Amino acid sequence: MYQLTEEQQSFAEAAREFCRELLGPTLREDDENERFRKEFIQALGEQGLTGIPTPEEYGGLGLGYFDYAIVLEEIARISASYAVSVAVTGLPQVILANMGTEEQKTRWLPGLASGELLGAFALSEPGSGSDAASMKSTARRVDGGYVLDGTKFWITHGGYADVYVVMARTGGPGAKGVSAFLVPSDARGLSFGKKEAKMGLRASPTVEVVLEGVEVPETDRIGPEGFGFSVAMAALDSGRITIGATAVGLCAAALDDAGRYACERRQFGRPIIDFQGVGFMLADMATRTESARLLVHKAAALKDAGAPFSEAAAMAKVVATDAAMAVSTDAVQCYGGYGYTREYPVERYMRDAKVMQIVEGTNQIQRLVIARSLKRRLSPT
């Protein structure tokens, strides 16, 4: 029988209760005003929730992605926006822990793992979303380092982060011409454009990042030249587990709220959950949620075991984020007209869910990843 260990269960419950107390009181206000509170990340960090997979020697908890997925689900039950923020500030950590130099790790990982510092990941551009290898940002070689120029779009924590992992072109066209760099927030020539007015995840800032003659020393390049696309893809594989876990948390929140409402709301003298039209809908919501959770946990377990996990991560991302959209939409339906108002949180769940089918590689791209993996495994040639 599949179940969490007592230690994992206690960790998850403690994380949920802390997030309820910290994030719950301002959820509605911050959603309406598009407000991000950086101090909340610091508070989450004080509880050990912002550096779960980062090695203990660099200030993290040194746990695996399975534990990370469990905690992100609990954060997302309360606030998908802050679950995304924890996941995004975790991307530079997984990159540096696996590919950074000792100096880079020592400089950045303790602060990121503790929540004192905030990280960001800058890959997408105005003309290169799914086709990330066609990016136009450049890193021109100069004595001692590089000069970066370009514009990055859709950057979570843009203008708030203390360090950005930036992908820029050091060579010719295509993936092999891309390199990865660390850019601190105080770098001269780094500025920020408009903040996106989003439908959902409104407490998580998404801001344009502009690089104009930003000087980066060679010691702040991650890996060798031309290795940047590999850095980005490895980070996104891991990120598909974290966005999947976030989507599962959103599913769980929508299911809990809708289920409780269906037990309390009475029509024709009976709780509406007793009517098949509602009861069956809730049953499907529960089944989708549990299916998504198991796929996310499988992908996380494979990563922790050092086994290939790209295909599993893509599957988990597709199933979990599609489930989040379906479950949150059904939650609104369960509430009827009330669900379409801001009096209840289910409309926020639905707005938050949509973007999860897009970020960390669209679900159409994930299906392409899965199909290519199937071809490699099954093709006779």
Dump pLDDT digits (tens) for 64-80.
Answer: 999 999 999 999 999 99
| CA distance to 22, 35, 37, 87, 365, per residue, from 82 (Å) | 11, 11, 9, 8, 25
CATH 1.10.540.10 domain range(s) in the chain = 6-117
At 174 the pLDDT is 86
Predicted confidence (pLDDT) at residue 287 exceeds the cutoff of 60:
yes
Fold of 230-376: Butyryl-CoA Dehydrogenase, subunit A; domain 3 (1.20.140)
Where does the pLDDT of residue 130 fall: very low under 50, low under 70, confident under 90, or very high at 90 and above?
A: confident
At 368 the pLDDT is 95
According to DSSP, residue 366 is labeled H
Predicted confidence (pLDDT) at residue 161 exceeds the cutoff of 70:
yes
The mean-pLDDT minimum among 124-138, 193-207, 337-351 falls in 124-138
Q: List the structure tokens of 15.
A: 């994380």
Where does the pLDDT of residue 128 fall: very low under 50, low under 70, confident under 90, or very high at 90 and above?
A: confident
Q: How far apart are CA 99 and CA 375, in angstroms?
A: 29
At 1 the pLDDT is 43
- Which residues fall within 8 angstroms of residue 376, CB to CB, at 6 or more apart? none
How large is the average pLDDT for residues 158-166? 97
CA 145 to chain centre: 31
Q: How far apart are CA 177 and CA 179, in angstroms?
A: 7
For residue 29, the number of C-alpha atoms closer than 13 Å in the C-beta half-sphere is 6
CA 67 to chain centre: 15
Q: How far apart are CA 61 and CA 190, in angstroms?
A: 32
pTM listed for this prediction? 0.95
How large is the average pLDDT for residues 125-135? 83
How large is the average pLDDT for residues 2-7? 88
Q: How far apart are CA 66 and CA 241, in angstroms?
A: 9
Fold of 6-117: Butyryl-Coa Dehydrogenase, subunit A; domain 1 (1.10.540)
Which one, of 325, 327, 302, 322, lies nearest residue 313 by Cα? 302
Q: How far apart are CA 88 and CA 189, in angstroms?
A: 23
> Catalytic residues, which ones?
360
At 129 the pLDDT is 75
Q: How far apart are CA 228 and CA 124, in angstroms?
A: 13
Interstrand relation of 163-169 and 178-184 (parallel, antiparallel or unpaired): antiparallel
Q: In the predicted model, what is the mean pLDDT of the chain?
A: 96
CATH 2.40.110.10 domain range(s) in the chain = 120-226
Q: What is the pLDDT of residues 214-271, one digit of tens each?
A: 999 999 999 999 999 999 999 999 999 999 999 999 999 999 999 999 999 999 999 9
Is 3.40.30.10 the CATH number for 120-226?
Answer: no
Q: Are 153 and 195 in contact (CB under 8 A)?
A: no
Q: Are 366 and 233 in contact (CB under 8 A)?
A: no
At 197 the pLDDT is 95
At 379 the pLDDT is 86
Predicted confidence (pLDDT) at residue 283 exceeds the cutoff of 90:
yes
At 134 the pLDDT is 85
Name the helix (H) or strand (E) containing 141: strand 138-142
Q: What backbone torsions phi and psi does residue 95 show, to the nearest 5 degrees? A: -65, -50
At 116 the pLDDT is 97
Predicted confidence (pLDDT) at residue 146 exceeds the cutoff of 60:
yes
How large is the average pLDDT for residues 118-128? 93
At 3 the pLDDT is 84
Q: Are 244 and 292 in contact (CB under 8 A)?
A: yes
Residue 151, classed as helix, strand or coil, is strand
Which one, of 341, 356, 156, lies nearest residue 251 by Cα? 356
Q: How far apart are CA 83 and CA 366, in angstroms?
A: 21
CATH 1.20.140.10 domain range(s) in the chain = 230-376
Q: What is the pLDDT of residues 339-361, one digit of tens each?
A: 999 999 999 999 999 999 999 99
